[in-house]
Structure formats: structure tokens, C-alpha cells
């Protein structure tokens, strides 16, 4: 278990004590220097006062006053110095004696009293400083306790949320920082809840998708197993063997097509806004027409579109819509002619993609259900996956649009895809 860091309250108390110690130490040093300088100045003023009021007669009688019968180098000098007399530090001053030639009066005051007074005052300052530091730490502790109380309530409220982001959000008042942190946690929990809901929905869809896919793939795989058992256990003619092999190839192709479409559906489910980019629908429709004419021999595909029409979308998804629409018209509708129209609807700032064909069309009763997964129309071929129009509906939803089937002016079916001009709407 990792060692826990000191609490914010403890840190504030320590910082308060340290700050008080630094300030008081600086003031104490300055005060000590002031005491020393001021005490020396007071001694010097005392010496000056004595020298102004003393007379030669009294000088001979005064206690501790000595007349040095020595010549003075500079009788006018008025210097005060610190010296030692019998091992005692004194402040001394030599004053010329009036009426005498070259005689001075030496006046001194012991410094012991000054030193003791300064030391006593320093101890008093130290005691006061220690009390002030303790008081600063105590005040820091008390004030920090009031300041961090909202954070403690926020931590306690957050602990109660547990594994359910949808639970009651923490709502703390008392300090601006705590309120901002509470709001940030609330927004974060909302995003987590939304992501969890999306994940649960995706898992539910994946389970349903897997179950339906397994059911749809079981039939062709069972058919393939039966054909393989017949080939390995029965004596067959060349014609019978060839028929079974052709059936195996067709079934294998159906399984492959289904798996490919399932993969496309899965990729579509995983796409998001970051996959959207600028797409020129006119250029995309031209490429689709050229490729479709090459793949579907005898199919006439023409495009009606402006020179350029750019939208935000998923390029592969929009191309998949066009390819599936043309393939459905040719393979299941029996169309010989397909017309792709791309235009802008100024009424609601949307883009409309129309795919018309001259095939057998889609009955009214089936026009809604054929957009569901693994649903095939009455006239559809059995080798399809039943996912072509489901992919179209998925891409329409991913782009914030709609898809529908209506009657076509060419006599068959019209796939109408309407998309927002500026990408998926919020």
C-alpha cells in the first residue's frame, strides 16, 4: 500500500508556520541589530553628556574617572571607542581638560549592562516569535479546515457513486474551487453515463446481430455440409457431381457475400464523427457509374449532378450506398438502365441522392421491411445476403439522413437518400 501524502490542511498549517518563521526571523535579526546600534548610541550620548558637565576639580574626585597625564596627539578629536579595562569591555572617550595644556579626562562606561539588556530583549523576542509561529500554524490549521471542508464533502459524495454513473451527482457549495470541481465531476459523470449507455446499446445490438447472423449463416453452411456428404458417400454421375459442385460454389459465394456485408455493417457501427470528411458527391457518383458499367455488363448507368457538390460524410459509406443501390437494381430488380441523380434541395439545406431503375420495382408492402437486416424481397435472388438495403439504411442514419423506396419515373424503383448538407446534425 502506497504511503499517503499529507493533507491539504496539514500543508497549509506547515506553510503558515514556515512563512511566519521566515518573517519573524527577519524582523528579529533587524531588531537585534537595532538594539545593538541603539544601545551603543545611548552609551555614546551618555559619555557626551558627562563630558559636557564635568570640571577638572570634580574630575579628580569622580569614581572611575582617570586623568591621563599624557600628551594628546589631537586634542580636538572627539572619538568614542570600545576598549577593555581590567578585562571589562567599556565605551571610552577622552576629553581635553579646560585650563590645562595637553591634559585629557578619560571617561568610560561599562558595556556589560548594555549586553545584558540586549540579551534579555533578544530572549523576549525569541519567545514572542515562537508563540507567533505556533499561533500562525494554529490559525492556518483552523482556516484550512474551513477551506477544505467542501472538498471533503465532495470526496465523500464521490465515493458514494460507486459503479453506477447514473446515481445522484455531487453538489458541493462553500468554495469556488470546490464548486468548479463539483461541476467538472458532474460533467465527467454525465459523459461516462452516456458512454456507458452507448456501450450497452452496442453490446445489445452486437448480441442480436450475432444471433441473427448465426441463424442466417447456418442455412447455407448446412446446405454445403449436405452437398459435401453426398459427394463423399454416394456414387454420382458426372452430371450430378457437376450440379452439386455448382451448388457448392453458389452457396460459398453467398456465405462470402454475407460475411463481407456483415463486416461492412460492423465497420459502420464503429464509425464516429472523426471519420467524416469533405466528400464530392458528384465525383463519387461518376466513379460509381464507371465501375458499375464495368461490373454489370449490359447495364446502362448515367449520372445527373452539378459540377461539384461537397458534403461532410464518410467516403466509403456513401460509396457503399451508391454501389448497393445499383447492384440491387441490376441483380434483384432485373434493371437494364439506372440513373443516379445528385442535387441540392434549397428548401431545407439538404442533399438528395436518387437512384432510379427500370426494373421490376419493389411492392409497397415491402418498401419499409427491406431496409431491415436479412430481409429479402419477393423478387430477390436467393444468393443475396439480405443486407444490401440494411447497409444503405445504416449509412443514412450515420450521416443524419433518411432513406426510402418509392416509384421511379423509369418504371422500376427509386431509392431516395436525403442527407444534411453540412454533415450529421446534432
| Residue where a domain stops, chosen among 119, 151, 183 | 151
Please check whether residues 140 and 176 belong to one and the same domain. no
Percent of the chain with pLDDT over 90: 10
Tell which wins on pLDDT, 342 or 122: 342
Highest mean predicted confidence (pLDDT) among 40-44, 347-351, 386-390: 347-351
* Three-state secondary-structure class, residue 352: strand
Which pLDDT tens digit goes with each residue over 23-82? 878 887 787 777 777 777 776 776 666 544 445 454 443 443 333 333 333 444 456 777
Q: C-alpha cell of 420? A: 444534411
Do 220 and 325 fall within a single domain?
Answer: no
What average pLDDT does the segment 105-114 reach?
A: 67
Same domain? For 263 and 302 the reply is no
Q: Which CATH number goes with the domain that contains 185? A: 1.10.287
| All three cell numbers of 279 | 466528400
The CATH number for 418's domain is 3.30.565.10
Find the domain containing 238 and state its range. Answer: 166-270
Residues 197 and 210 in one domain: yes
**Does residue 186 sit in the same domain as residue 116?**
no
pTM of the model: 0.48
Same domain, 251 and 377: no
In a domain, 312, yes or no: yes
Same structural domain, 220 and 278: no
Q: What is the pLDDT of residue 53?
A: 44
CA-to-CA distance for 189 and 83, rounded, in angstroms?
Answer: 80
pLDDT range class, residue 336, cuts 50, 70, 90: very high
- Mean pLDDT, the chain, rounded, equals 75
Whether residue 408 is predicted with pLDDT greater than 90 in this model: the reply is yes
Whole-angstrom Cα distance, residue 262 to residue 387?
8
Cα separation, 68 vs 64, in Å, equals 12
Q: Considering its fold, how many domains does the chain have in total?
A: 3
Amino acid at each position: 500500500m502506497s504511503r499517503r501524502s499529507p493533507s491539504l490542511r496539514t500543508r497549509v498549517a506547515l506553510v503558515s508556520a514556515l512563512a511566519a518563521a521566515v518573517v519573524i526571523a527577519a524582523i528579529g535579526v533587524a531588531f537585534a541589530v537595532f538594539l545593538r546600534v541603539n544601545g551603543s548610541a545611548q552609551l555614546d550620548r551618555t559619555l557626551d553628556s558627562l563630558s559636557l558637565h564635568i570640571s577638572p576639580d570634580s574630575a579628580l574626585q569622580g569614581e572611575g574617572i582617570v586623568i591621563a597625564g599624557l600628551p594628546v596627539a589631537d586634542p580636538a578629536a572627539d572619538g568614542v571607542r570600545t576598549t577593555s579595562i581590567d578585562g571589562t569591555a567599556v565605551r571610552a572617550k577622552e576629553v581635553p581638560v579646560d585650563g590645562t595644556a595637553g591634559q585629557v579626562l578619560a571617561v568610560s562606561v561599562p558595556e556589560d549592562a548594555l549586553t545584558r539588556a540586549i540579551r534579555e530583549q533578544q530572549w523576549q523576542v525569541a519567545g514572542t516569535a515562537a508563540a507567533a509561529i505556533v499561533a500562525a500554524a494554529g490559525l492556518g490549521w483552523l482556516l484550512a479546515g474551513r477551506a477544505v471542508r467542501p472538498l471533503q464533502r465532495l470526496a465523500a459524495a464521490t465515493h458514494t457513486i460507486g459503479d453506477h454513473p447514473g446515481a445522484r451527482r455531487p453538489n458541493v457549495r462553500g468554495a469556488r474551487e470546490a464548486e468548479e470541481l463539483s461541476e467538472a465531476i458532474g460533467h465527467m459523470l454525465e459523459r461516462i453515463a452516456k458512454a456507458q449507455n452507448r456501450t450497452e446499446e452496442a453490446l445489445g445490438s452486437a448480441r442480436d446481430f450475432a444471433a441473427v447472423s448465426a441463424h442466417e449463416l447456418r442455412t447455407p453452411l448446412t446446405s454445403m455440409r449436405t452437398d459435401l456428404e453426398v459427394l463423399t458417400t454416394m456414387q454420382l454421375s458426372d452430371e450430378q457431381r457437376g450440379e452439386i459442385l455448382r451448388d457448392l460454389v453458389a452457396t460459398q459465394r453467398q456465405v462470402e457475400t454475407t460475411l463481407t456485408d456483415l463486416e461492412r455493417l460492423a465497420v459502420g457501427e464503429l464509425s464516429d464523427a472523426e471519420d467524416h470528411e469533405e466528400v464530392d458527391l458528384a465525383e463519387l457518383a461518376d466513379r460509381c457509374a464507371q465501375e458499375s458499367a464495368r461490373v454489370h455488363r449490359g447495364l446502362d448507368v448515367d449520372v445527373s449532378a452539378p459540377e461539384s457538390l461537397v458534403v461532410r460524410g464518410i467516403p466509403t459509406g456513401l460509396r457503399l450506398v451508391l454501389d448497393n443501390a445499383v447492384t440491387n437494381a441490376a441483380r434483384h430488380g432485373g434493371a437494364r438502365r439506372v440513373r443516379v441523380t445528385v442535387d441540392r434541395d434549397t428548401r431545407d439545406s439538404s442533399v438528395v441522392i436518387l437512384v432510379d431503375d427500370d426494373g421490376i420495382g419493389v411492392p409497397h408492402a415491402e418498401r419499409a421491411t427491406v431496409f431491415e437486416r436479412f430481409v429479402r424481397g419477393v423478387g430477390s435472388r436467393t444468393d443475396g445476403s439480405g443486407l444490401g438495403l440494411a447497409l444503405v439504411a445504416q449509412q443514412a442514419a450515420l450521416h443524419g439522413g433518411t432513406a426510402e423506396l418509392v416509384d421511379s419515373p423509369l418504371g422500376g424503383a427509386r431509392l431516395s437518400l436525403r442527407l444534411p448538407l453540412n454533415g450529421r446534425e446534432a
